[in-house]
Amino acid sequence: MAHILYGGEMTPLLSGLIIGMCFGFLLQKGGVIRYDRQLGALRLQDMTIIKFMLSAVLTGMVGIYLLVDFGAISLRVLPTVIGGNIIGGILFGLGWGLLGYCPATSLGALGEGRYDAIWGIQ
């Protein structure tokens, strides 16, 4: 266990697990994993999810630039693959529209015991 906590190879995995659990907790507390909120966002009637996403993006932006400023990480810009982004966006949008959950909120809803997050049955 010591190698996980003190810079071993598993540190990114452990930190990803902790950050993912915190993100899931915030998804649940923000109420964005509720099906009616998801549907409201898709119909542009409920802006709760849009506000949550905006705050997550802004927090990540500030966090990454603070880590760069402190020298904890270095950034490198990779070339954009337009075709992959278009195909990924279409698949994501179709999945969210058909199921009513995006991937993160479906896992959060499943964690609350909502099995419709797997099958999309209401």
Name residue, tokens 């995006």. 102
End-to-end alpha carbon distance in the chain = 43
Q: What is the pLDDT along the chain (122 residues), one digit of tens a residue?
A: 444 455 555 677 888 888 888 888 888 888 888 888 888 888 899 898 889 889 989 999 999 999 899 988 888 888 999 999 999 999 988 888 888 788 888 888 888 888 877 776 55
Overall pTM > 0.75 = no
Range of the domain at 13: 2-119
100 close to 120: Cβ distance less than 8 angstroms: yes
- Burial class from Cβ neighbours inside 10 Å (0-12, 13-18, 19+) for residue 105 reads buried
* Contact partners, residue 117, CB within 8 Å, separation at least 6: 99, 101, 105, 106, 107, 109, 110
When divided into structural domains, the chain yields a total of 1
